[in-house]
Amino acid sequence: MSDASSVGVDAAGQPRSGVSRGGRPRDPALDESIIKATRRRLVLDGYSDMSLGDIAADAGVSRPTIYRRWANKLELTIDALDWGFRRQQDSYPAAPFEGMPAEEAFTEAVRRVDPCYFNPDAMVLMGNFMGETLRTPELLDHLKERAVEPRVRLVEQVLAGLQDRGEVRRDLDRHTVATLCFGAYYSAFLRGEHHRDDLAEKVVAVLWPAITA
């Protein structure tokens, strides 16, 4: 399974072999069923309380079937996260930022920084992984590397491009603006504002007059 949409990548984000740990060919449909069951259990139970037995039951497989594919719960969880990261990337509109009007490009970048862009349960997962910082720091580290930083850097990169076009201020602190945009989604969640379909537009409406050239 070497294509970008397949299930099973190692901790460095590289595709795993299409052969199971027991030397048998991997079944992509079965792998995906296990991955989806894992993602559901992460939301319902949290990482610490999630068991491979429950995942196996939800996926309709045996525990040995899981162990032939993943060495432990952490490895399976990281693959389940990477599955979601790839699906989010695949869900983005194809239109390039370079061809968008300046404010529209910034708005689209802010929209993509939403942790729930693809997965409506992402905030629950984020909270759970932050709570695992002392017990399993690898989870939050992986989340920051594969999900948080790429999204926030996208906002910074779009702003840099708009600076080159003379659309936003040359002295703009791109890092802080991107951090504010990312934090807006957490603030809305914690304030109980769960319908955030227009949050990107609202954030841009406030920020744009201050950053435009």
Cα(65)–Cα(168) distance, rounded to whole angstroms?
54
Q: To 10 degrees, what angle do helices 73-91 and 52-59 make? A: 50
Q: What is the pLDDT of residue 194?
A: 76
Q: What is the pLDDT of residue 94?
A: 84
Q: What is the pLDDT of residue 15?
A: 38
Could you tell me which of 15, 14, 25 has the C-alpha nearest to residue 6?
Answer: 15
> Per-residue confidence at 82, pLDDT binned at 50, 70, 90?
very high
178-208, pLDDT tens digit by residue?
A: 999 999 999 999 999 877 789 999 999 999 9
Start-to-end CA span in the chain (Å): 48
Contact 47, 77 (CB under 8 A): yes
Q: To 10 degrees, what angle do helices 199-211 and 174-190 make? A: 150
Cα(74)–Cα(42) distance, rounded to whole angstroms?
11
pLDDT at 6 over 60: no
Lowest mean pLDDT segment, chosen from 4-13, 133-142, 163-172: 4-13
Q: 148-167: b or e for each residue (b if 16 or more CB lie within 10 Å)?
A: eeebbebbbebbebbbeeeb
92-128, pLDDT tens digit by residue?
A: 888 889 889 999 999 999 999 999 998 999 999 999 9
